[in-house]
Amino acid sequence: MAATKKCVSIVGATGLVGSEVARILHLRAFPIRDLRLFSSGRTRERETTITGRAFPIVPFALEALGEPGICFLAAGGDFARRYARQIAARGHVVIDNSSAFRMADDVPLVVPEVNPRHLVGHKGLVANPNCSTIQMVMVLSPLARRWGLKKVVVSTYQAVAGAGLAAAGELATHSQARLDGRDLPPRAFLDRIAFNVIPRIDAFDGDGWTGEERKMMNETRKILDDRSLSVIATTVRVPVFRGHSESVYAQFERDIDLSEVRLVLEGAAGVEVVDDPAAGKYPMPVDCAGKEQTFVGRLRLDPDFSRGLCMWIVSDNVWKGAALNAVQIAEILP
């Protein structure tokens, strides 16, 4: 029996995440009756091509949404704060990629492989977690279920794709300029991204943490349903086009066993273990673009603490970190 076809709308359809949502819906043969694409007002494009077929893009308006269905928002926090609840009030299920509602008590924050049960009883608004959070909980969750998670210390190596299309262009043009011996002033970033690393993503709070770091710390607790979990994040932008990497050190409640860690991760949905140092195999951003999995490798036991584990986690931040996860939420909506 074919799945019931749904009405689907995407707001921010010309952006990096919105256009990938459209493409992934097609690739995964999501049952769509009516697809409507909207710009959020920041673009003048009138049409977009999804896997060879042209779709019109119109400026967003509540009245243009059509009959109740699934509405993907990939239009930023300001747009979401203004419209998300209004769209939900019209009977649509909103899946918002921004951070606007992620920590709201009545909004589930969902990674389908990790906490699908949080979708039960949703009120029409579901939040897609932060990219760096998603790939980390994909790996931590199965381990937490087995050994109980106490503390996580994570340092990220985040690609420019997470900062939008202009950021990717800036990495290319500014890298070329540097290779030609020229310096261009940063625009999409606050600092030079070419051949540099920037230990800052998002704004700082009064305690010196960035917004991105707080997202990883707070969202991980919410998704794993563990308000007492300690998460310490340092988020860093690196000159990579696509694919976030994370160096994660985790402490558990009970002694861990490395061969069992491998088994648990090999059996985890959406996770692929790439960990064969002798063969030179470990996850890298260059290998993850356009892949659905979250890759984990460099598994090492803390030599000084039998409950400590080091890992290296890589995933396509635009796919599993954003567009793919949003589509997967739509696929399992109750």
Q: Rounded distance, CA 201 to CA 199, Å?
A: 7
For residue 119, the minimal CB distance to a second copy (Å) is: 29
Cα 93 from chain centroid? 19
- Per-residue contact flags (x/-) with a second copy for residues 270 to 309, judged by CB under 8 A: -----x-xx-x-xxxxx----------xxxxxxxxx--x-
| HEC letters along 118-168 | HHCCCCCEEECCCHHHHHHHHHHHHHHHHHCEEEEEEEEEECHHHHCHHHH
7 in active site: no
Q: Phi/psi of residue 156, each to 5°? A: -105, 160
136: which residues sit within 8 A by CB, 6+ positions away?
152, 154, 216, 220, 246, 248, 313
Structure-token pair, residue 31 = 């049952």
- Asked if 205 contacts 211 with a C-beta cutoff of 8 angstroms, the reply is yes
* 171 is a contact residue toward a second copy (CB under 8 A): yes
- Cβ closer to a second copy: 44 or 182? 182
Structure-token pair, residue 258 = 């490395």
How far are the Cα atoms of 12, 72, 218 from residue 235, in angstroms, in the given order? 26, 27, 14
- Asked if 247 contacts 167 with a C-beta cutoff of 8 angstroms, the reply is no
Question: Binding-site residue total for a second copy (CB under 8 A)?
Answer: 55
- Active-site pick, 92, 118, 174, 244: 244
Query: Within 24-83, which residues bind a second copy (CB under 8 A)?
Result: none
* 263 is a contact residue toward a second copy (CB under 8 A): no
For residue 283, the minimal CB distance to a second copy (Å) is: 7
- Per-residue contact flags (x/-) with a second copy for residues 203 to 232, judged by CB under 8 A: -x--xxx-------x------------x-x
310 in active site: no
For residue 274, the minimal CB distance to a second copy (Å) is: 10
- Active-site pick, 131, 174, 288, 310: 131
* 238 is a contact residue toward a second copy (CB under 8 A): yes
* 190 is a contact residue toward a second copy (CB under 8 A): yes
- Asked if 284 contacts 241 with a C-beta cutoff of 8 angstroms, the reply is no
- Cβ closer to a second copy: 166 or 286? 286
* 165 is a contact residue toward a second copy (CB under 8 A): no
Q: Which of 61, 54, 72 is nearest to 9 (CA)?
A: 72
State which of residues 35, 136, 198, 264 lies at the interface with a second copy (CB under 8 A): 198
Task: Return the active site residues.
Answer: 131, 244
Q: Binding residues for a second copy, per CB under 8 A?
A: 151, 153, 155, 157, 171-172, 175-176, 179, 190-192, 195-200, 204, 207-209, 217, 230, 232, 234, 236, 238-241, 245, 247, 249, 275, 277-278, 280, 282-286, 297-305, 308, 310, 312
